[in-house]
Chains A and B, each alone.
Chain A
Amino acid sequence: MHTLNLEVLTPNGSIFNGPVQSVTVPGEEGEFGVLSQHVALTTLLKAGVIDIIQENGQKESIVVNWGVVQIANNVVTVLVDGAVAIRGDSEGEMAKALDEAKALIDSVADSSALIASVSARIESAAHSHLF
Chain B
Amino acid sequence: MANLKEIQRQIKSVSNTQKTTRAMKMVSTAKLRRAEELAKRSRLFAQKTNQVIAEIASRIQCNKVGGIDSRCFVQNDAPKSIDIIFVTADKGLCGGFNMQTIKAVKRLIAEYKNKDVNIRVRGIGKKGVEYFTFNQVELLDGVKNLSSAPDMQRSSEFMARSIKDFNDGIVDAVYLVYNGYKNVITQELHVNRILPISIENIDCESVKDSVLELEAFDEEKMLDSLVHKYAEYNMYYALIDSVAAEHSARMQAMDAATNNAKEMVKSLTVKFNKARQESITTELIEIISGVESMK
A39 adjacent to chain B (CB < 8 Å) = yes
B229 adjacent to chain A (CB < 8 Å) = yes
A9 adjacent to chain B (CB < 8 Å) = yes
Q: Mark A2-22, 1 if CB is under 8 A from B, else 0.
A: 000001011111100000000
List the 8 closest A-B pairs by CB distance, nearest first. Answer: A13-B41, A43-B215, A41-B213, A9-B45, A11-B45, A44-B222, A70-B52, A11-B42
Cβ-closest chain A residue relative to B211: A40
A29 adjacent to chain B (CB < 8 Å) = yes
Decide: A11 and B236 in contact? CB cutoff 8 A. Answer: yes
Q: Mark B46-89, 1 if CB is under 8 A from A, else 0.
A: 00110010011000000000000000000000000000000000
B277 to chain A, nearest CB (A): 63
The residues of A with any CB-CB pair to B shorter than 8 Å are 7, 9-14, 27-29, 39-44, 66, 68, 70, 72, 77, 79, 81
Decide: B41 and A29 in contact? CB cutoff 8 A. Answer: no
Cα(A81)–Cα(B152), bound, Å: 10
10 residue pairs bridging A and B, Cβ less than 8 Å apart: A12-B41, A12-B42, A13-B42, A27-B215, A29-B216, A40-B210, A43-B222, A66-B229, A68-B52, A77-B48
B237 to chain A, nearest CB (A): 8
Decide: A77 and B52 in contact? CB cutoff 8 A. Answer: yes
A5 to chain B, nearest CB (A): 13
B225 adjacent to chain A (CB < 8 Å) = yes
> Which of chain A's residues have a CB closer than 8 A to the CB of B217?
28-29
With A11-B152, A12-B38, A79-B52 as contacts: A43 and B214 at CB distance below 8 Å: yes
B233 adjacent to chain A (CB < 8 Å) = yes
> Which of chain A's residues have a CB closer than 8 A to the CB of B44?
9, 13-14
Decide: B216 and A44 in contact? CB cutoff 8 A. Answer: yes
Total residues of chain B contacting the partner, CB 8 A: 26
Decide: A42 and B214 in contact? CB cutoff 8 A. Answer: yes
B110 adjacent to chain A (CB < 8 Å) = no
B212 adjacent to chain A (CB < 8 Å) = yes
> Which of chain A's residues have a CB closer than 8 A to the CB of B204?
none
B140 adjacent to chain A (CB < 8 Å) = no
B287 adjacent to chain A (CB < 8 Å) = no
Decide: A40 and B213 in contact? CB cutoff 8 A. Answer: yes
Cα(A11)–Cα(B226), bound, Å: 15
Kindly identify which residue among B41, B49, B236 contacts A79, using a CB–CB cutoff of 8 Å: B49
A80 to chain B, nearest CB (A): 9
Cα(A10)–Cα(B42), bound, Å: 8
Cβ-closest chain B residue relative to A77: B48
A127 to chain B, nearest CB (A): 31
Cα(A17)–Cα(B230), bound, Å: 22
> Which of chain B's residues have a CB closer than 8 A to the CB of A43?
213-216, 222
Cβ-closest chain A residue relative to B46: A11
With A12-B41, A12-B42, A28-B216 as contacts: A42 and B56 at CB distance below 8 Å: yes
> Which of chain A's residues have a CB closer than 8 A to the CB of B214?
42-43
> Which of chain B's residues have a CB closer than 8 A to the CB of A77?
48, 52
